[in-house]
Chains A and B, each alone.
Chain A
């Protein structure tokens, strides 16, 4: 069946360093991938998405990489800031339904 998972449940990063959050997926039919950030008590906030016809996509301070060969997705955050502390979710879809991983909690150390 479908499953989306993150390699590590927690990540501690020094302020100013780059962060890399990893995600593995198992559904070869998925053609759309998305990263969300969720702060405590709030709904997930869209960060960046990528379609299966791309390998890389960049946004403001963020980059998403997609490796379809090994079914791996990653989110890179440049110059991590205290405001980046949150839970990060990857999700994948082949239709209307998004399947979410369990999330990675990122803590930024001052």
Chain B
């Protein structure tokens, strides 16, 4: 089945540690996205990539970094500079602009 796979499902971070969240898609989509969701709130865009080897900051990019070396993969690193990283992180992909974004089932990040 085609889809988006996020791993791990749960992740714990120690103070001062960087952690990387994985996102893989086999939908052959050009565009990929990372969102953060806090309890009772909507999704906020962290980074997005329209094409391989290119990405842009979203609304809340500070403390995060991404790479897009392959079409299928768009990993997100939560750095130690992100002071409030506890959240539900969602990855999505779409064929192009103004097309439905398809989401993975998320990674829940917590602080130890």
Contacts and interface: CB of A to CB of B under 8 A. Distances in A.
B97 A98 contact: no
Interface majority SS on B: helix, strand, loop or mixed?
strand
Interface stretch (A41-49, A59-67, A77-85): A41-49
A25 interface: no
Contacts of B53: none
B106 A32 contact: no
* Contact-residue size bin, chain B (C-beta under 8 Å from the other chain): 20 to 34
A98 B45 contact: yes
A17 B33 CA distance: 36
Q: How large is the interface on A (under 10, 10 to 19, 20 to 34, 35 or more residues)?
A: 20 to 34
The listed residue with most A CB atoms (<10 A of its CB), out of B6, B42, B105, is: B42
B97 A95 contact: yes
Interface string A85-110: 00001010101111011110000000
